[in-house]
Structure 1
Amino acid sequence: MEQKENLLIVDGMALLFRSFYATSVTKQFMYNADGMPTNAVQGMLRHLLAAIRQAEPTHTLIAWDMGAKTFRNELFDGYKANRTAPPEEMIPQFDLAKEVTARFGFQNIGVPGYEADDCIGTISKHAADFLPTTVLSGDKDLLQLISGTNHVWIMQKGYGNYKRYDEAVFFAEMGITPLQFIDVKALMGDTSDGYPGVRGIGEKTALKLIQDYGSIEGVLAHLELLKPGVQKKIQEDLVMLELSQKLAAIHTSVPLEVNYDQCLYRGITSDSVDVVREYGLKTVERDLGLL
């Protein structure tokens, strides 16, 4: 039986950072013979290979952030302002990750001024007519991108463990549609991204408001029906609520072009083996049965 075409879109930063912190807490930076730390890159490759075994993609693509500043910083100075600089052992691994994954046959993409999430959103929307997609990430913000043609796998602990979301799973868990999740995020804010939403409204209240009234516009049209405390919080934070709605939404019209033929996944090649040996990626070498 011929394999059904499908595209695995990977959130590169999410995988790389997750892999780094999984071992850095115990100072397991896995230096190679040249003294370069490789823990993040090796963990990322192992996650990628585990995902490929399960998703069986015909095409693969990895999206990356390209620098710290995006259009969201122009909207709001405080956006991601609380993020600390990456640890020094992480810094050389950004370029290494892109080189190694490219030699494993993954197409890498990123657009200055936009986040990886925006590239992922744009590609999943663009491919909807001809190529089903699966997004791999640890970031629940991407759940807003779930559609009939795009599933989102959120990584759990360990390799190859995912919470797999399609429209039905998402609705069963949240009681709203994926697009309504943007308004939930806008109300509750996001401390890791540094925007507050409506101060004093948490996830539970935000979700209930959108379940009951459908959207932020619906909530504002029925303010008089809300509890006085909730009503007051929203009224005091209307400007930030409107801004948070813009910050929470993933941009799906990034100016990018994808050559899907170049995204064809060809499996483990001699170049994959060479790069593993070249950079002394012993854990991956063992995983591939090369040791």
Structure 2
Amino acid sequence: MTTEEKPHILIVDGMALLFRSFFATSAMGHFFPNAAGVPTNGVQGFARHSMTAMSLFNPTHMAVCWDMGAHTFRNDLYDGYKANRPAPPEELVPQFDMARSVSELIGWKSYGEPGMEADDLIGSMVTNWEGKAEITIVSGDRDLLQLLRPGVKVALIKKGYSEYDIYTDERFIEEYGITPLQYIDKKAFTGDAADGYPGVKGIGPKTALTLLKQYGSIEGVLDALDELTPARRKRIEEGMEMLHLSRKLAEIHCDLKVSDQIEDLTLPIYDVEKRSLFEKEGYTMIMRHADSLFS
């Protein structure tokens, strides 16, 4: 099968789009409550984002991945994982379930795995369908860059609904000087302030990249500790436990079972019946946006 004949799967990081859409409008005091008074700004923004991505990337198939609760196996590994993140605003809380419902109402296949993050589902889909389809991942999370490989792109949300920073594996290697898989080891050294794990104290991004370019991996660096400056060697030796733990936290798990076939992700048809459902549920923004895209 040639590249042109392969299906093109759009994988959407639903939670990333939901959060971004919520905060973009709530900052201006816009919550778009429905008839029951429940805010819908995040939900409708998520749907609009996803529909716009469909029109931009022209996929043949689509999946939406979700976090299923705040607690995952990474919290069991490290108590501090994402511990510094504030609780979601009360206006956002009811929109988590609503967003998944809207996704299904539109006809997009939704996926979530208790104890895992959306990233792990996305990674498992990439592993499962690598070589069988072209894949475009839409998210705001740079952690997903570790999934880059031939046939897989990551489109990072940049501005508004239609501007993306698109990475291929070639662009990543040219920009960082390491492979996407080595990006996991980079994060193990540097940690991730947003996710709340420190990596190795005193090893910043520049040093981490230098070490990985020279020695290839964490294992390669550890085998060459005697070649490092005394200061770097001391930092790594003192941070050894956190280095290995940080790598476990940084790595996306790509071995979850994906039972659906690519054919199960076929794009839905937007019709009069679907339009009336949006209107009935009070999702007028979704309805108007769908009208403009698919009429």
In structure 2, do the counterparts of structure 1 residues 238 and 95 end up closer, same or farther at CA, with 3 Å as the change threshold? same
Would the aligned equivalents of 2:212 and 2:221 in 1 still touch at CA under 8 Å? Answer: yes
Distance 1:272 1:259 in 2: 25
Residues 179-204 of structure 1 deviation map (CA, whole Å, 9 limit, x = unaligned): 00000011100111111111222222
Q: Report matched runs for 1:256-275 at 5 Å.
A: 256-275=258-277
**2-structure distance, mates of 1:271, 1:208:** 57
Unaligned segments of structure 2, at least 5 residues? none
Distance 1:214 1:111 in 2: 33
1:182 is matched with which residue: 168, 184, 188? 184
Give the equivalent residue in structure 2 for 1:6. 8
Q: Secondary structure at the match of 1:96?
A: helix
Aligned to 2:140: 138
- Provide the C-alpha distance between the structure 1 equivalents of 2:19 and 2:32, rounded to a whole number of angstroms: 15
Aligned-residue offset at 1:289:
3.8
Within-5 A mapping of 1:105-254: 105-254=107-256
CA contact (8 A) 1:189 1:196 kept: yes
Query: Match for residue 28 of structure 1?
Result: 30
- Cα distance between partner residues in 2 of 1:201 and 1:223: 14
- Which amino acid in 1 is paired with 2:110? N
Count of aligned residue pairs for this structure pair: 289
Unaligned 5+ segments in structure 1 are none
Deviation at 1:274, TM superposition (A): 2.6
TM superposition score normalised by structure 1: 0.94
- The letter of the residue matching 1:248 is A
Q: Aligned AA for 1:62?
A: V
> How many percent identity over aligned positions?
48
Q: Matched residue of 1:29: which SS?
A: coil
Cα drift, residue 287 of structure 1:
2.3
The whole-number CA distance in structure 1 between the counterparts of 2:206 and 2:84 is 24
Alignment partner of 1:60 is 2:24 = no
How large is the RMSD of aligned CA atoms in angstroms? Answer: 1.7
- CA-to-partner distance for each residue in 1:157-210, whole Å, 9 max, x for gaps? 111111111111111111111100000011100111111111222222222221
The answer as to whether partners of 1:79 and 1:195 remain within 8 angstroms in 2 is yes
2: CA distance, partners of 1:254 / 1:4: 23
What residue identity is the alignment partner of 1:269?
Answer: D
1:20-48 alpha-carbon deviations (Å, 9 max, x no partner): 11111222112122211111111111111
Contact kept, 8 Å, 1:103 with 1:271, in 2: the verdict is no
